[in-house]
Chains A and B, each alone.
Chain A
Amino acid sequence: MNIFRPLILLILLLAPCAAFAQNINEPTPQIYFDRSDSDVPLNITFNGQDILIYGAVENLGGLDPDIIIKITGPLDNYVIHKKSHRLGMWINTQSLTFRRVPSFLALFSDAPLDTIILPTEKIRHDIGFERSLPLRGFSAEIDEPEAFLNAFINLQKRKQKYVLDEDGVKIAGNILFSAHIPLAADIIEGTYTVEILLLGRGRVLASVTSDLPVYKSGIERWLFELSQNQGWLYGLLAIFMAVLVAYLMSQFMRLFQR
């Protein structure tokens, strides 16, 4: 039950503050939050990871709070190919490049987005997959760039890179909230941004952001950097390791056969 321990502590700490704040001035809504992991190391056993985000809100003046949590991965360029039927085969014939779009995007909320956030606020805070994926930088011969965009979003959803869960944030007693956000096994490294919006009657009352570093650790980091920066050395290492391991394995098998 280590999830609840920090929450209880938080409430105990905050309760007097909240009472005090209300006494002096018109209180502003606040969000306090923490998460289960301060960073995500990609190592040999990495198989995706659930991040628990939890926290509390205060000073809502009697409003029912809504919460949206958005996690954005590092930006990357993607080429989307479209196949057509040519000569009896399905061949890539059209392609469109999306430049600097999020490699990962998770949207979690306590209720369907359209019921808790006003359209104007949605635009202002880039909520929704389409909002984060501006259509630009594509070549002119593409008839329907929107179809490419939708296909891209669907492919990313299938790979758990784009996640929408409109029931993913749990709110308890109008004060506490928590969400489990799954990070896919093949996320790329970089700095991810966690953004939490506190909403009331469709308006954003408060927001907080924080960075979530995702990076390769240990030998994986070393191998990756070597492969990118010193291809010659990496190639020699690959050959040496392959010969060595194969030789040792075959000697081992010979022992085993006797």
Chain B
Amino acid sequence: MQIYLPIAQISIDLLPLLGIGFAVGILSGMFGIGGGFIMTPILFFLGVPANIAVATQSSQLVGTAASGALVYYRQKAIDYRMGLILFAGGFFGTTLGVRVFAWLTSLGQIELFVSLAYIFLLTLIGTLMMWESYRVMRGQNSGAGFHEKLAWRHWPLQMRFPASRLEISTIPVFFIGAFVGFMAAILGVGGGFILVPAMIYLIGMPTKTVLGTSMFQIVLVTATATMMHATSTRAVDIVLAMVLIFGSVPGASLGAIMALRIPPVRIRMGLGLVIMAITIRLILDLTLEPSSLYSIGL
């Protein structure tokens, strides 16, 4: 069954879209991430134009992250103060990111840039995850506590974060937020996959507040990215976003149930493998000679 996407102006098979929404939903429920970093490259492979995939992902993630954040809100596991400072940085980064996105699109280099950024980030995160789960499997410590060695904790503008029982400089928090916001705008991701490790390893937040705060700040960042894409690139496709949400929400519930039954190390190992596979595919697309040297620009 086909569905016509009014903004993308293409007709696309409904079932693969729902299936991918569902599969990514499972991953997102299992790992507590939005899953945008997996969804966006898969949408490229399905033939959704890069600008539509990226802009639409932002709006889809608002919904998915909001329903996730609601769960943490009920458990009182959100550090709002931390979330708002991360978002202040995120707003700055998103504004910059949408500008850079529009500029690279006009140069015809957006696909190259997005692919390279993905390859860089996914390689980094995939390697870290595989390495960490390997260490945990061998009974070594997981790298938590690393943040205590970082000097930026003692920079000026110190602030107390009672919900996370932390006192830290707001400057690194702002810049982590800005980096994540930049990536959210350019890659169509919520940034949870960058933010969660950064909160644990770089800021030193306790596990209790990490996922809730990350979800909370992702709602704010992706909502900002949606508004900016809607008013500048005009590439947000509501129909595509709805289809993806329909698939991903049930997937996320199933993933959350599965997460309780599978040991976390296995889960992280699995996610590491998924990330590696996507990275390899992106690298091959970039380095193997394409079937046609010519392409029609966006």
A residues with a Cβ closer than 8 A to B are 42-48, 78-85, 88-92, 95, 148, 151-152, 154-156, 185-186, 188, 216, 219-221, 223-224, 227-228, 231-232, 234-239, 241-247, 249-250, 253-254, 256-257
Interface centre among A92, A221, A247, A257, by most chain B C-beta atoms within 10 angstroms, is A92
On chain B, the residues within 8 Å of A216 by CB distance are 6
Chain A: interface secondary structure? helix
A235 near B2: Cβ-Cβ < 8 Å: no
Binary interface profile of B, 198-238, with partner A (CB < 8 Å = 1, else 0)? 00000000000000000000000001001101111010101
CB distance from A236 to the nearest CB of B (A): 7
On chain B, the residues within 8 Å of A91 by CB distance are 109, 112
A81 near B108: Cβ-Cβ < 8 Å: yes
* CA–CA, A46 and B239, complex, Å: 14
Interface centre among A82, A88, A241, by most chain B C-beta atoms within 10 angstroms, is A241
B4 near A42: Cβ-Cβ < 8 Å: yes
B156 interfacial contact with A, CB 8 Å = no
B295 interfacial contact with A, CB 8 Å = yes
* CA–CA, A227 and B111, complex, Å: 23
Subset of 24 A-B contacts with CB under 8 Å: A44-B239, A83-B290, A83-B295, A89-B287, A90-B288, A185-B11, A186-B10, A216-B6, A223-B238, A227-B230, A231-B232, A232-B230, A239-B227, A241-B242, A242-B64, A242-B241, A245-B242, A246-B64, A246-B245, A246-B249, A253-B249, A253-B250, A254-B253, A256-B253
* CA–CA, A58 and B79, complex, Å: 82
B70 interfacial contact with A, CB 8 Å = yes
* CA–CA, A15 and B257, complex, Å: 75
Q: A228-B234, A239-B227, A245-B242 are in contact. Are A223 and B6 (CB under 8 A)?
A: yes
On chain B, the residues within 8 Å of A221 by CB distance are 6
B62 near A242: Cβ-Cβ < 8 Å: yes
Whose C-beta in chain A lies nearest to the C-beta of B227? A235
CB distance from B113 to the nearest CB of A (A): 10
On chain B, the residues within 8 Å of A83 by CB distance are 290, 293-295
B residues with a Cβ closer than 8 A to A are 2-4, 6-7, 9-11, 59-64, 66-67, 70, 108-109, 111-112, 223, 226-227, 229-232, 234, 236, 238-239, 241-242, 245-246, 249-250, 252-253, 257, 286-290, 292-297
B108 near A95: Cβ-Cβ < 8 Å: yes
B231 near A235: Cβ-Cβ < 8 Å: yes
CB distance from B33 to the nearest CB of A (A): 15
A45 near B108: Cβ-Cβ < 8 Å: no
* CA–CA, A46 and B11, complex, Å: 7
* CA–CA, A81 and B63, complex, Å: 36
On chain B, the residues within 8 Å of A256 by CB distance are 253
List the 10 closest A-B pairs by CB distance, nearest first: A235-B230, A242-B63, A246-B63, A79-B297, A151-B294, A185-B11, A231-B231, A249-B249, A47-B2, A220-B6
Q: A92-B112, A228-B234 are in contact. Are A235 and B246 (CB under 8 A)?
A: no
CB distance from A162 to the nearest CB of B (A): 12
* CA–CA, A82 and B296, complex, Å: 9
CB distance from B242 to the nearest CB of A (A): 6
CB distance from A64 to the nearest CB of B (A): 40
On chain B, the residues within 8 Å of A78 by CB distance are 296-297
Interface centre among A151, A216, A231, A247, by most chain B C-beta atoms within 10 angstroms, is A231
On chain B, the residues within 8 Å of A156 by CB distance are 296
**Which of these, A80, A82, A238, contacts B59 with CB under 8 Å?**
A238
CB distance from A147 to the nearest CB of B (A): 8
On chain A, the residues within 8 Å of B295 by CB distance are 80-81, 83, 92, 155
B292 near A249: Cβ-Cβ < 8 Å: no
CB distance from B181 to the nearest CB of A (A): 16
Q: A92-B109, A95-B108, A155-B295 are in contact. Are A227 and B67 (CB under 8 A)?
A: no
A249 near B227: Cβ-Cβ < 8 Å: no
* CA–CA, A44 and B7, complex, Å: 12
B11 near A90: Cβ-Cβ < 8 Å: no
* CA–CA, A185 and B5, complex, Å: 10
Whose C-beta in chain A lies nearest to the C-beta of B109? A92
